[in-house]
Structure 1
Amino acid sequence: MNERINFETPENIKISYQLAGPGTRFLAWFADCIFLTLFCLFLLVIFVAIGFSVDGVFGDLFESSRRDDPFRKDPQFSMVFLGIWIMIWSLGSFVYFGLSELCLHGQTIGKRMSKIRVVKSDGFSLDPISILIRSIFRLIDQLPILWIVPVLSDSSQRLGDMAAGTLVISDEPSEISPVREILCDRTAAESKFRITAAMLARSRPSDFSAIETLLERWSSLHEEERTALTSTMVLALAERLQTEAPPPAEYQQYLEDLLAAEYRRQSRSLG
């Protein structure tokens, strides 16, 4: 069973991730190697086509490929061909994995198929420096003898992960509350109340937890109990956020808009 990793952000927001196991990571890597091989073969065909069309040393070397069995008759050609292939594979690997993780937010095609993702060890999304370090170390990590490293690591990290400070986590959708599911899709334009970044900075993590709990239990509470809890919470929040309290008829809307703004902030910050 894969382990979970729990930590808090500098803003005291609790984050929990399911770590991806070595088996899942290997399947993702194997799928990526298939796509990478096809990509490198495409580049090789282009390179060989260019080699046939140019003069000079490469033109002379590629000239031997027009004969029967060029590898046996011209060992130099086979060495150059092998060198070209290694160069294309190394460069293709660097570009494919680095560009994929940058553009797909910590994923490659193989990782997306396996539903895993790379994040920073603090839970935030990857930055270009982390991707660069991972890409450089990948040339070493692909050595078969080093495949044992993620198996022995408590967090299933390869050497590149350790150097870059990254983790590979499961990207499987987890169960979320109906309130969070609804409010996560609410945009700022759909909100009645304007919630600023300064207001969110003055709030506490416990505030949002209390709001979420209240809204989840909203329909099960008696009207008197709901009114009392909502009034107490909204007035306290308005004072802490240094803003004017809304009319009682709009208390629920105010809490929903505030919680939706916090969800949007978390979505922008986390991986």
Structure 2
Amino acid sequence: MSELQINTTQNVKIMFTAAGAGERLLAFVIDTAIKIGYMLVLNWTFGAFDNMDEWSQIAINTVLSFPVMFYTLALESLLDGQTIGKRVLKIRVVKIDGYQASLADYVIRWFFRIVDIYVFGIGFFVILFNKKQQRLGDMAAGTAVIALKDKVNISHTILEELKLDYVPTYPNVIRLSDNDARIIKDTFTAAKLAKDYSTLIKLRNKLVEVVNIKDIKQKTDIEFIDVILKDYNYYTQSM
């Protein structure tokens, strides 16, 4: 499986695992089985209509086949990029720019199924040889299908958990950039795990210098750096 980098609306880069062709094929098989089951039930239930004239049967069959025709479009729109098959396989459609896929995106993907699935299954082969595991519909809509088995934790980004009543301490943290905050968090996390106190001291001193802090209000370096990261997220998320 390939890695897929998504830039969120907060300009945070998150790595996902793109769903493989096998997972997508199995999800398609599950969805197809559901559609076939639906049609078999209808055929058994509405067999009484066999005595109707041909045009009436065509009209009824057309109306009753709508759930099959729009199955994928309806479910992906209602279930945030998932069908029943995708939910079982724990995969989901997302925009590759980090935004939530819109109804228009799902419509484009659904329309391209005509080529991807029903023209020699070309979409399956496109997925196999595409770096982002996209079919033609994904390319046209700017979407991709990701695996949800390894969910991204907030600790993998520069974001910090903030309480609703959080009060910032150092407004000068806005001097930092997203890249600065990312480096600080990575260094801070590694130093804490390794109990590398000398690195924590150097990081504290550098932050005091760059952010221009005159008075440190926390008792320890760990508490101070933790507050710096939280303050940065507080101010940048409010912009």
TM over 0.5: yes
Task: Encode CA deviations 1:86-117: one digit per residue, 9 max, x unaligned.
Answer: 3342244432232223xxxx333322221222
Distance (whole Å) between structure 2 residues aligned to residue 37 and residue 220 of structure 1: 56
**Structure 2, unpaired ranges of 5+:** none
**Matched letter for residue 151 of structure 1:** L
Q: 1:119 Cα deviation (Å)?
A: 1.8
Percent identity among equivalent residues?
23
Is contact 1:186-1:260 (8 Å) kept? yes
Distance (whole Å) between structure 2 residues aligned to residue 97 and residue 137 of structure 1: 15
- Which residue is equivalent to 1:65? 48
Q: 1:258 Cα deviation (Å)?
A: 4.5
Task: Encode CA deviations 1:13-46: one digit per residue, 9 max, x unaligned.
Answer: 443332211111111222233445567788x69x
Q: Secondary structure at the match of 1:217?
A: helix
Q: Secondary structure at the match of 2:65?
A: helix
Higher share of residues assigned helix? 1
Distance (whole Å) between structure 2 residues aligned to residue 199 and residue 248 of structure 1: 15
Is contact 1:22-1:156 (8 Å) kept? yes
Q: 1:248 Cα deviation (Å)?
A: 4.6
Is contact 2:19-2:147 (8 Å) kept? yes
- Which residue is equivalent to 1:110? 85
**Aligned match for 2:96, one of 121, 130, 133:** 121
**Aligned match for 1:231, one of 192, 205, 211:** 205
Are 1:168 and 2:152 counterparts? Answer: no
Cα root mean square deviation, aligned:
4.4
Is contact 1:28-1:113 (8 Å) kept? yes
- Which residue is equivalent to 2:3? 4
Q: 1:166 Cα deviation (Å)?
A: 0.9
- Which residue is equivalent to 2:135? 158
Listed as ranges, the matches of 1:254-265 within 5 Å are: 254-259=224-229
Cα pair distance change 1:36/1:191, threshold 3 Å = farther
Are 1:96 and 2:87 counterparts? Answer: no
**Greater C-alpha radius of gyration:** 1
- Which residue is equivalent to 2:186? 212
Q: Secondary structure at the match of 2:14?
A: strand
Cα pair distance change 1:87/1:173, threshold 3 Å = closer
Cα pair distance change 1:220/1:22, threshold 3 Å = closer
Q: Secondary structure at the match of 2:112?
A: helix
- Which residue is equivalent to 1:58? none
Cα pair distance change 1:82/1:129, threshold 3 Å = closer
Q: Secondary structure at the match of 2:168?
A: coil
- Which residue is equivalent to 1:133? 108
Cα pair distance change 1:257/1:93, threshold 3 Å = same
Cα pair distance change 1:129/1:7, threshold 3 Å = same
Is contact 1:134-1:161 (8 Å) kept? yes
**Matched letter for residue 79 of structure 1:** I
**Structure 1, unpaired ranges of 5+:** 49-63
